[in-house]
Structure formats: C-alpha cells, structure tokens
Structure 1
C-alpha cells in the first residue's frame, strides 16, 4: 500500500527527468534562483505580455489569480513617486515570496504572499485522478468536507451524515492542498520553480503567432510511486497572467472549469487518451468578466507532458505571413533540435539507438497517437502525446448530426464532427516545423541525428533540407489507416435522428430498423460461435457502450446547481463524476421494470441523468469564453 504524504512533501524528480533542466528558459527568468529574485524586485516581467526570446521553450511563472487589469494604488505610507516602482512594489507584496517553515527533510520550500488573502473553496476532487496519477497524495479530510455524492440533494431531507471530527493532520493536509492548488502557496527550490510553456499556432485556420500558456502554470512534477520513470505534471489552469496572456486576464470561470474537470475523467473511463483532473478550487472573491460577471475557479489537471505541436511551431513557424496576433520570433533551429531530442527520448520514449535519426519517427509517432485519439473521439462522440487537452466548447453528440458544431463562435464549422480530418492540418504544421531538421538527418547515409550547430548553413541549404524532409515524411497515410469506416452506420443514425450514444447500447437488445437490421443480424449470426449465449453478448456490448453520457444538458444543470448553491451543488457534481467514471454501470436501475414512482429518489435522478434531456438542449452550443 502506498504511504500518503501532503503535497508540499513531494520529492523532486532527478534533473534528467525535469523539463526545466533540459529545455531553455526565458532569459528574463533564466533559473529558479534568478526567478525568486524577479518575484521580489521586478515581478511585472511575468505579468506583462511580451515576445520571449527565440530560443526559449518556457518561462518561470508563479500563480497569481487576481482580476485584471490590476487595481494598483500606492501605499499611503510609501514615499515612492516613480510609477514603475509603485507597480513593482504593489505586485511583489502579493507574490509568494514569504517562506513557510516545513519539515527539514522536504525537497521543496513553501512560499506564500504577504498581502493577498482570498477565499479558496474546494468544490471538486477526483478520486480516480488521484488513484491513477498521484496515489501517494494525502488529501486529509477533503472528501469528507465535500460531502456524500448525491443527485437527489435537498437541505430539508438529506442532511449529511455525521462524521467524527477530523484529526489535526488531516485538516493540515487538506489546507495544504487547497492553498497550493488554489494558487496561494507556491513550492520552489534552487532547482525547481513553476513554469508556463511557450508555443505558437493557428486559431480557426489563421496563423496567430506566439500564443503560449496564457493562464496555465505547471506547479509540480510528481513521480508515480509504482513507476519512477512515469511523471505527471500538475498544472493550474486559471492561475493568472503570464507573459503569454496577451490581452487576457489569465483566469478561468466556474462553468468552464467544471466542464473540463468532469470531461477529463469521463474520457479516461471511455479509454480515450486524455489529461486528467485532480481538483477544482473556487475563488468567489475574484470577479471575472466574460459575457457576464462571474467568479474565478482554478482547475488542477495532470499529464506526463503539456508540450504540444505549437511548441515546435514556436521555433520554426510559417514565415512572411501577415497576421493579427501577438507577433512571432524568427526561427531558432538549435532550440528546435533541443526540444525534439527531449520529446523523442523523454516524452514519447521512442526506441532509438545512439545517434539515430529521430525527426521522422517523432512526426509519425505523433500522427499515429493523435489519429487514434480522434478515432476514439468519434467512437464515442493536440498534444504531442496524443492526449485530449484544453477542453473548451466541447460536446458529446445527442441526436446524430455529422455537421454538428458545438462552439457558437465556429461559424464555418471548422471543428464540427465531420471534419476530424482537420487533424492532418495540425500534423502538417508539425512536419513543416521539423522538416529542415528531418531533411538534414536524411541527407546522411544512413540517416543520423543532427548535432549542435547543425543549422549553421545557408538559407538555401535550410530550404533544400525542408523540401527533402517534407518529401521523406508522409503523414496522411498514417491518419487514414486509423480512420477508415463505412457510411452505413452514420446513415442509420442520421436518417432516423437517433441518439448517437443510446443507439449503440440499444443494439445490445437486437431491436433496430428494418433497413439496417439485416446486415447487423448477419454479422451477429456469423459471430455466434464466439459467444456462449445471447446474454453474454449483451453484457459485452454493454461494457463497450455507455449507459451514462456527459451530455450538454447534464453539464449545464450541474453548473447551475454549483453556481446557485456550492455546498449542495458540489455533491451533485461529485455524483456526476462518479457516473462519468463508471459510465457502463446500470445507473438508474436500468433493467428494473418497476415504474419511476417505485424507485428511490436517487434512482429516479440517476435515470433522468442517463436520458436525452429536454429537446431545447439538443445541439446546444457553448461559448468560447471561459
């Protein structure tokens, strides 16, 4: 059994396994030691939107969840008259630079701000995320504080069961967790500090230049106790401004945070590659202005890496393109080599001999991983690891519509269900970024990895290598190989306006439409020798087709309940999380023939939550604002 430790007592992985020891930091914050000096003397460096150095892969940044623009007023007792100095002092007083004593054997030191106290309320905690990623984490009495998961919650008839008072150590572990994941306390050492990644990319098909983690900060890297080679980054989303925020406030609202918190765990339960959820911390004192005034919320998500295709585009993006964005640095081919070597060996873990060419293998591996991921999306309804990340305006489809658009900002349907082949667009962007390096590798016989200084050649040679690299790497075939399917199934759903998810589960009973049933029954008949009975086949089908689906109406109802009454709403959200993590279970007494009125209140609610919902919510579109 894994022993439990509080978050502040986590050890630091060896330098060879840490991103910040193998990639290049922003020159404004070159090291953890230098970064702590920045926090005290010139903290605006990390809050001011700017183009970072061309060789940088990341910037050291600390969480700072405050409304933006900041309401900066000089302290009446100060004699400072220089406006820039007033800003720096105001910020530094709110940065986490005061050390909090911890046990002497901890690898990290804990820092808190001297003048930034906010209400931090834990509203969600993922038991499955903890189980799979950080089983050593001591959350203290956090689950007891969240209450018993339930859909049928009311103040009158569903009082929480009494529990024995929590021990001092349990309370301490929970407060420690909330302080760190709420962006208040920061863990640092001479070898480690939080960071945000630099990346570039396209938005709705248009080159946008430098983007980067505008509101996400990796605060810790945890080794899995059962496999020390497996790392999980703990990243706060909605943690405040970074150098990559452009004009945004760096914050996230409750509704979008709930959507990602629930969907990440729902996706893993469906065996779809995804980042994972850990916790949701509400910040009710921090207003956020979107279509309406809302309150801030911080999601803690986990993944082995949050590097993405745009991390490569940042180092060699499209050239000579007019665009409206935050600007873009010139190519830095040496930084491209450093990033590619790290991703190949430590992130993708490609099997490579010493000196073996890795560029082409990297592109094809990313293509295969992401094709499998998108195929999984479509089976149930882009990072370099092929993980689903950054859940924005997503949807699990209700009535089948191949042209369904879940984002009301996407007027052209660029990200509709039908255009999953758009993934090739992203993969080609990765290939274009790495093409000169791949060409340089392929110019050797046999191909071999490039060495430092490989790009110190003429522009004509770089162009020739780029053409050679593109010609040597075919990614569309990798994609097509994983995305082949027939149109007949889609035609059945579309013409009969069928529930995309419920149809699959209903097929286990053998009741289908006449136009399609012949083919289906012939398939069942051809496979009958593989099953001992019809009941066995039915059970296997139910294990592959979910009873519960995280539909739009479910999400909207959960969000409304949490926003109206967090104490009751968080219990409903916890129950929905349970259902999403066990989607194949017979929720709502699925096979029970009794009428609804004979079921318990909880069973009736479970049955309702497994339904299609009100017609007004079919095809519901989300806002991009989050």
Structure 2
C-alpha cells in the first residue's frame, strides 16, 4: 500500500452532476449516442431470459421452503453452466454470524461439514451429488461494462459461480425477499478472459470483512457468508500468493453492465426482457413498485414539473430508470457520509439495486480530503471522494442510453405491436427527444436525491432532526452547516469518523459555553502546529465559529416534538481501516490459515461497530490499538491499494 495526502486545493462539494467527469453535458452529444444505438446494432444474439426465482437449495437449508422450477429459461448467450474448479485442499476459516442469521441459519451450522463443503465449492467436485440432492446447476453470468470511461466489451463472472437462491429469514421491505448465493475465486469460467479464475487470500479477507461492516453501519451492500482458505492453490499477482474463496450473497447481482451487454449486442428484446425482470422481480416490493422514486417525487414534484414531465405520462421503464437512479444516489451519499470509497466504480461494478458491490482497492477515508482516492492506479482520481457522485451519474447516463428505446418510446409506442419488431424511421426523432428529456430529468432527480440523503446522513451523525432540513432545497443546509463542517475537517485533519464521536460527547448544556476552549480541548490537543499548514489561531477561529452554528442548531431541536436522531446510532466506534486489514492479512497468511485470532477479532468489531460489548474479552491491547483508527500515525493513514486481487 501507498500513503497519500491530497493538496489543499479545496472546493465546494455540492454535487455538480454535469461536470467534466460526466461527459454528458451536451444534449446534442447524448442525442447522437442514442441515435447511433437505434440505427447501428452491432450484431444480433439470442435473447436472454432471467428467472423469476432460482430454485432453493433443498438439503443444507432443511428448514427453508423449497421450490424447483424456473419460470423462465436463461439463454446460453447470457450465462454458462460451469462448476467450481476442484482444488487440492480446502480449509474453512470463518463464517459471519449475522449473515447466517439473515439466511435463517444457526451460528453452529457453520461447523457442519456439508455447510463448509458448499460455501467452498468442494461439494460440486462430485458432479452427480448435486443432481441427487436436486440442487440447481451452477452457472456464471455474462455482462459488459464501461471501465474508467472506456467501453470494455463483454466481461462477466470471471471467477464467480452462482449456486442457488434462498429466502430471507425476515423480509426487510426494501428489496425482494430472496438472496442469491455465489462463490468468488471458484475457478475459471468462460468469462475469465486472460485471468486465472482465482482470488487471493489478501483480497478475499478484505471483501469478507468490508461487506458485513457496510451492512452493519447501514450502507446497502452485498453480503459475505463465509471464507475458505485454499492452502495448496497459488496465484501469481505481484508475487505468488495463496488463494481463498468467499461465499457471498445479495438480492440480485444484476449490474448496469448487464444492460450494457444487451445494448452492445443490439439485442432489443433482451434489453426489454431484462428491464421487465428488474421491474417485476426487483423493483416490486410487497406489491408496491418503485417505492424509492415515488418517495422522492412526492417530496419534490417540481423535479418532473420543471422539466415538462408529467408523472402520469411516465412508463414503467421510465420509473425503473428513475428507481435505480434514486437507489444509487442515496447509497452513494451514505458511503460519502462515512468516507467509504470503493476505488473502482465502473458500470460492471454498479448495482441496479444501488448496492455497494465488488470490493477491490476500497478504503475508509481516514482524514477528510476531497482529492483522496484509495486506488493507487486511479491517477486521474476518477473514483476519488470529490468525483464519486459524478462518476455514478456518468454510469447511470450509460444505463439511460442502454434503455434509450424503452424510455424514448412512451406509452403509445410501447403499446404498438410494430414497435416489438423494429424502430421505424419516422419514430426516431420522437424517441431520441423523449429519451433525452428522461435522462436529463434523471440528472435532476439524482442531484436532489444525493444531496438530500447526504445532508440527512450528516444530520443523523450530528444528532440534528430532519425537520431542520428544507426538504425541497437541502442545498441550504449543505451551505450553512455541512460545507463549513467539511472545511473544518479538511483543515484540522483529525480522524474523519472519530470527529463525530468526539462531537456527540461534548456537553453544550452546562452553563456558559466557551467555544474556543472546546475547540482546543477536543480537536487540537495533539497537534504539532510547527508542521501544520494552518496557524493555531486560525484553526481555533474556524472551529469555534462552526461550533456556534452547530450549537444554535441543537437549540432549535427543542422546538420539535419528534425524536431527535441519536448520533450514537450513526457514529460507529470502529471502522476497519486498511492498516488494520493489513495486520489481519499478515497473521492469517503467514500462519497459512492456522492462526485466525486477528480475523475473528476483526469480524466481531467490524460486524458490531456500535456495540463494544460484542467484541469479546480477547486481544484487548490489539483492540485498543485498532481504536486509534486514523490517528494511529501519518504512515498508517490514507493508504492506497492496487487492483490486483
């Protein structure tokens, strides 16, 4: 890993959707792109049908309801049947109790040899057992993607194999009531290209830990069930590294890149069938469709009205597009509020559900720096903190182009049987014009949904009620409260997340408040000002001025009868930093999986970040060290990773 500190070129972080990162500011450019797609399909392929439900596994999950039928067939052009590659040795390391609970399993079941065999892929070495037990046949999916702004063609699950689908133990009302289980690092697939189908232990530990941590702090994320070490399997990365397999699950693994694939193939019917699957299976929750889009547009109807769009004129394809926009905007805002950066956010790494997905060179930002990127290979900081919101919108614009025919058609054309066959020349201008308007309106929806959630998340962390937010214009609170706070954080360079823990423990109620004294005691006590870029007096002034604003906001909360957010529920006491992950990886790797005490400790802390009573009594000195977080020292802060995994 490398250590990076950004420069002091600080700018307002309010979202500019159509900035230089976006490349979609020109309606003419957008229309040309859509026009090219309508008239120039690359080549025809057999269509792809997605299942309404994958069959449930019928043995490991004995207590769960079972089904054996596909409602649709998946074409060989969109997936490939493939079995995990047999390995010489399998060594089960760990399973996550919360993940098992959400799958309806007891924690003790992780000790079952059958469970361990399935989550490692070893179960499938005998190609007949799964048939006898009525398991579905495993497969890998194809998708395409735009990577760092360039179209990369067909990609797909190069080392991931999908096993089966299982019901959630408790429906959450946010997503469908099923999880799809897959294993990563399971071997070569038809989509491996020039790769080896392996995942090294280093990256597997990182993904295993961060998946469950993000879920624990409230970031919509894919999940991690179990980690298996492969002692005799080596992969060549920077050097020879030993490998592992992560069993992971999510409500769906459909990505924006899945739509990219069908568009690239010129598969009109495939795009429509995939969109129908997303609408009916993924975006219909307990009979209600597009609940996140409806919530946003009900709060601010002007988002449509000001663009000349009527809600009653929107088709289900328009709403599907907007639903994915809102989901991704809000997840991005939550990630930004905690300083979580994925490091690689291509269209094949962007979930249609708005889940955080595919964790490579990620990082928790130790100190606030808008120029920071966790990816050492991201030289243009495309996926750095400052640019992430625009990068996700760029991806969503590509989705709009993938859906151009469907969102450009409108209700009348969609009901025309001839539209199923082809796009007539006389329809083209109308389709282009409407698709352009839908996408541009989507930009306004994205900016609003992102900003609103960003402000709400910081208000949660500050213990301020949402009634203090102008629901239709959250930019006001962004300007008055959040932006000055970020300016303070940038200047004092204290730990980004520990700042909120310190703040929530300040007593503003006991007598006269001395803001300068609080500023010095809480935030500047350990600074070496002779090496810092700001004078102490200047820092005390900017901190105390913001504390006054914050205190005034706290006083306003007394006017409201609603419950004020408890900041302790939003400010985790622990986040797994890169230097901590490195320590865990070093112990597990050097012992060849024989010593997992650090891994087990990290799982307890990262999966229960708000509740130290669940961290256990072991390794207390290590725990104390880890709680230093970003204040461990400059050599431990703002680390970067490469993409090698």
Please indicate, yes or no, whether the TM-score normalized by the shorter chain is above 0.5.
yes
Structure 1 CA distance, aligned partners of 2:587 and 2:558?
45
Task: Give the CA deviation at 1:449.
Answer: 6.1
2:284 corresponding residue in structure 1: 349
CA distance in 2, matches of 1:463, 1:202: 26
Cα distance change of structure 1 residues 125 and 175 upon mapping to structure 2, 3 Å threshold = closer
Distance 1:570 1:506, change over 3 A: same
In the alignment, is residue 128 of structure 1 matched against residue 181 of structure 2? no
Corresponding position of 1:481: 448
Q: Deviations over 1:246-302 (max 9, x none)?
A: 111111000101101000111011100000000011111111111110111111111
Match of 2:331 among 373, 376, 380: 373
Tell me the distance in 2 between the aligned counterparts of 1:559 and 1:263: 13
- Counterpart of 2:246 in structure 1 is 299
Tell me the residue number matched to 2:399.
Answer: 430
> Equivalences for 1:230-245 in 2 at 5 Å?
230-245=177-192
Aligned to 1:25: 75
Shift of 1:451: 6.3
1:575 and 1:138, CA in 2 relative to 1: closer, same or farther beyond 3 A?
A: closer
Does residue 454 (structure 1) correspond to residue 420 (structure 2)? The answer is yes
Q: Secondary structure at the match of 1:372?
A: helix
2:362 corresponds to which of 377, 391, 394? 394
Please say if residues 359 and 441 of structure 1, whose CA atoms lie closer than 8 Å, have aligned partners that are also in contact: no
1:119 to 76, 89, 102: 89
Q: Structure 2 vs 1, CA of residues 452 and 550 (structure 1 numbering), >3 Å: closer, same or farther?
A: farther
Task: Give the Å deviation of 1:456.
Answer: 2.3
Name the residue aligned to 2:80: 59
Is 2:156 the partner of 1:212?
yes
CA distance in 2, matches of 1:196, 1:546: 36
Aligned counterparts of 1:254 and 1:449: Cα–Cα separation in 2: 52
Indicate yes or no: 2:547 matched with 1:520.
yes
2:386 matched to 1:418? Answer: yes
Check the 8 A contact 2:256/2:352 in 1, yes or no. Answer: yes
* Structure 2: distance between partners of 1:462 and 1:57: 28
Distance in 2 between residues matched to 1:190 and 1:588, nearest whole Å: 39
Shift of 1:465: 2.1
State the Cα distance separating 1:191 from its structure 2 match.
Answer: 8.4
CA contact (8 A) 1:25 1:57 kept: yes
Q: Deviations over 1:228-252 (max 9, x none)?
A: 9611100111111112111111110
Q: Is the 8 A contact 2:604 2:614 kept in 1?
A: no
Instruction: Report SS of the residue matched to 2:324.
Output: helix
- Report the secondary structure of 1:315's partner residue: helix
What's the offset of the Cα at 1:403?
A: 0.6
**Structure 1's 197 and 404: CA in aligned 2 closer, same or farther, altered over 3 A?**
same
Determine the structure 2 residue equivalent to 1:223: 167
What are the Cα deviations for residues 314-373 of structure 1, in whole angstroms up to 9, with x where unaligned?
Answer: 1114xxxxxxxxxxxx310001111110111101217469x9932111110000000010
Q: Check conservation: 1:22, 1:342, Cα contact below 8 A.
A: no
Secondary structure of 1:316 counterpart = helix
1:552 is displaced (CA, Å) by 0.8
Q: Does 1:580 align with 2:606?
A: yes
Q: Work out whether 1:441 is the aligned partner of 2:410.
A: yes
Cα distance, 1:616–1:345 mapped onto 2, change above 3 Å: same
Match status 1:360 vs 2:307: no
Structure 2: give runs of 5+ residues left out of the alignment. Answer: 1-56, 291-312, 340-349, 452-477, 507-517, 520-539
1:603 aligns with 2:624: no
Deviates more, 1:406-415 or 1:613-622: 613-622
* Closer/same/farther in 2, CA of residues 223 and 241 from structure 1, 3 Å limit: same
1:562: how far off? 0.6
Q: Aligned to 1:283, what secondary structure does the other structure show?
A: strand
How many angstroms apart in 1 are the aligned matches of 2:488 and 2:375?
Answer: 25
| Alignment CA distance shift 1:587-1:506 (3 Å) | farther
Q: For each residue in 1:3-48, what CA deviation from the matched residue of structure 2 results, as whole angstroms up to 9, or x when unmatched?
A: x9952758785477x5xx435321xxxxxxxxxxxxxxxxxxxxxx
Where do residues 543-582 of structure 1 align in structure 2 (5 Å cutoff)? Answer: 543-567=569-593, 569-582=595-608
1:7 is the counterpart of 2:26: no
- The CA deviation string for residues 372-395 of structure 1, in whole angstroms up to 9 with x for no partner, is 100011110110011001001000
Match of 1:255 among 202, 223, 232: 202
CA contact (8 A) 1:439 1:469 kept: yes
Of 503, 508, 521 in structure 1, the residue corresponding to residue 504 of structure 2 is: 508
Instruction: Judge conservation of contact 1:5–1:136 (CA < 8 Å) in 2.
Output: no
Q: Secondary structure of 2:284's match?
A: coil
Q: How many residues align?
A: 482
Within the alignment, does 1:383 sit opposite 2:318 as a pair?
no
Pair 1:389–1:141, CA change in 2 (3 A)? closer
The CA deviation string for residues 196-218 of structure 1, in whole angstroms up to 9 with x for no partner, is 12111111111111111111111
2:90–2:120 CA contact under 8 A, matched in 1: yes
Aligned counterparts of 1:493 and 1:456: Cα–Cα separation in 2:
55
Partners of 1:392 and 1:139 lie apart in 2 by: 30
Unmatched segments (≥5 aa) in structure 1: 27-55, 65-115, 143-169, 318-329, 590-599
In the alignment, the residues of structure 1 paired with residue 368 and residue 170 of structure 2 have an alpha-carbon distance, to the nearest angstrom, of 42
Separation (CA, whole Å) in 1 of partners of 2:63 and 2:164: 9
Q: Do 1:23 and 1:338's aligned partners in 2 also have CA atoms closer than 8 Å?
A: no
Is residue 227–residue 247 contact of structure 2 (8 Å, CA) maintained in 1? yes
Name the counterpart of 1:68.
Answer: none
Shift of the 531–540 alpha-carbon distance from structure 1 to 2, 3 Å rule, reads farther
**Residues 8 and 543 of structure 1: CA distance in aligned 2, closer, same or farther (over 3 Å):** closer
Where 1:436 maps in the other structure, the secondary structure is helix
Q: 1:530 to 1:545 in 2, by over 3 A?
A: same
Q: Residue 184 of structure 1: CA displacement? A: 3.9
Q: For residues 183 and 519 of structure 1, do their structure 2 counterparts lie closer, same or farther at Cα, with a shift above 3 Å needed?
A: farther
> Which moved further from structure 2: 356-365 or 123-132?
356-365
Residue 436 of structure 1 contacts residue 462 of structure 1 at CA under 8 Å; is this kept in 2? no
Change (3 A) 1:588 1:264: closer
Contact 2:575/2:606 (<8 A) preserved: yes
